[in-house]
A = this chain, B = another copy of it.
Amino acid sequence: MARILDVAKHAGVSVASVSRVLAGLPGVSEVTRERVMVSVKALDYHPDLAARRLRSRKTDTLGLIVSDIRNPYFTEVSRAIEDVAYANGLRVLLCNTDEDPEKENFYLDMMRDENVAGVILSPTLALLSRYRAADYAFPVVLVDRCESNSDADAVVLDNVDAAQRLVQHLVDNGHRRIAFFYGAASATGRQRLQGYQNTLAAAGLTPISQALKPTTEEARVMIRQYLERHRQVPDAVVASSGLILLGLVEGLREANLRYPDDLALAGFDDMPWTRVVTPGITVMAQPTADIGRSAIELLLARIAQPAQAMRRIVLRGDLCIRGSSIKPAA
């Protein structure tokens, strides 16, 4: 591999001049700039990033720490982040925590060791409860999860509002006994529970909520258990996430219950399959591309302006009404 010294010799200038040209700094005559560029091409010179990073103490690398990249929500958010990173010549380090605080901690340590420019993180509940931006050597933008009072840069859905509108839609369609299956391990699940409770209280209805591990399999099992233990089937069931929603659909199917005939169904996240099942499923869609793009833009802004005040970007969900929530005329 050609080094900067090789280029300098080839061009008949000093390494300092080469460095200046490469960095686009002023104070170099047009002639030498030209000669350097020619030599760079000729030798197929590529700066050594390790050396450059050691010297400059910067990395052009971002960390992306999500709980599970298989969750379509994070998949789409990641995609948007990667797009913007590409456009800015940044690298993205991908990490999965599995909602495991230990793994999360490991990766956060790794980010410090890597000396990343910044991190986009969907924190576990354990971390979020004691999260302080000042604890990290790098800027952090929280995604998907954030306490409403926390001092952090974050991009989140307006979860309370979104849940309220989704549940209100069910109330408006005449459903009274509305059950809520939510992921208890995240701030998001709890905020959506709050919205659900608000709406039910306002309507004078009794809440029926079921906390669970936010996985498809868990939701499938829990809905079946619920149906076995209670003689009266609810009018409607709402899932606090797309993964849980999928589990509910599987469980209801196994229990030979049909929607919307036997009970109505609704949930979060506009996953592709919610459109192709018959009838389609009513969901609160999250603007995942916007969330991802906003997150990395917020991070880049923070990197450029380390001192500016913390910002929370709250996005509005989009209610997609389909057949699953409309009570049959009968």
Taking Cβ atoms with an 8 Å cutoff, the residues of A that contact B are 46-51, 53-54, 57, 59, 64, 68-70, 72, 75-76, 78-79, 82-83, 86, 91-96, 103, 106, 110, 112-115, 216, 246, 249-250, 253, 271-273, 275-278
- Taking a contact as CB atoms closer than 8 A, the residue among B46, B64, B272 that contacts A113 in the complex is B46
Instruction: State whether A69 and B82 are in contact (beta carbons under 8 Å apart), knowing that A93-B91, A246-B272, A273-B273 are contacts in the complex.
Output: yes
**Distance between Cα atoms of A224 and B124 in the complex (Å):** 45
**Distance between Cα atoms of A141 and B265 in the complex (Å):** 44
A210: min CB distance to chain B, Å: 20
User: A276 and B275: CB pair below 8 A?
Assistant: no
Which 5 A-B pairs rank lowest in CB-CB distance, beginning with the nearest? A273-B273, A50-B53, A94-B94, A50-B54, A249-B276
**Distance between Cα atoms of A92 and B92 in the complex (Å):** 8
A110 cross-chain contacts in B, Cβ below 8 A: 91
User: A253 and B278: CB pair below 8 A?
Assistant: yes
- Closest B-chain residue to A93, C-beta based? B91
User: B94 and A82: CB pair below 8 A?
Assistant: yes
A86: min CB distance to chain B, Å: 7
- Closest B-chain residue to A249, C-beta based? B276
A182: min CB distance to chain B, Å: 20
Q: Would you mind naming 20 contact pairs between A and B with Cβ atoms under 8 Å apart?
A: A46-B112, A49-B113, A49-B114, A49-B115, A50-B50, A68-B79, A70-B79, A72-B75, A91-B93, A92-B94, A93-B93, A93-B94, A216-B272, A250-B275, A253-B278, A272-B273, A273-B277, A276-B277, A277-B277, A277-B278
User: B96 and A83: CB pair below 8 A?
Assistant: yes
- Closest B-chain residue to A1, C-beta based? B137
**Distance between Cα atoms of A57 and B49 in the complex (Å):** 11
User: B96 and A82: CB pair below 8 A?
Assistant: yes
A105: min CB distance to chain B, Å: 13
- Closest B-chain residue to A274, C-beta based? B273
User: B54 and A51: CB pair below 8 A?
Assistant: yes
A204: min CB distance to chain B, Å: 34
**Distance between Cα atoms of A46 and B273 in the complex (Å):** 46
- Taking a contact as CB atoms closer than 8 A, the residue among B72, B92, B250, B275 that contacts A93 in the complex is B92
A92 cross-chain contacts in B, Cβ below 8 A: 93-95
User: B79 and A113: CB pair below 8 A?
Assistant: no
**Distance between Cα atoms of A91 and B110 in the complex (Å):** 9
User: A79 and B93: CB pair below 8 A?
Assistant: no
**Distance between Cα atoms of A75 and B78 in the complex (Å):** 11
A275: min CB distance to chain B, Å: 7
A106 cross-chain contacts in B, Cβ below 8 A: 86
4 further interface pairs, Cβ-Cβ under 8 Å (given A50-B50, A246-B272) = A69-B82, A93-B93, A250-B275, A253-B276
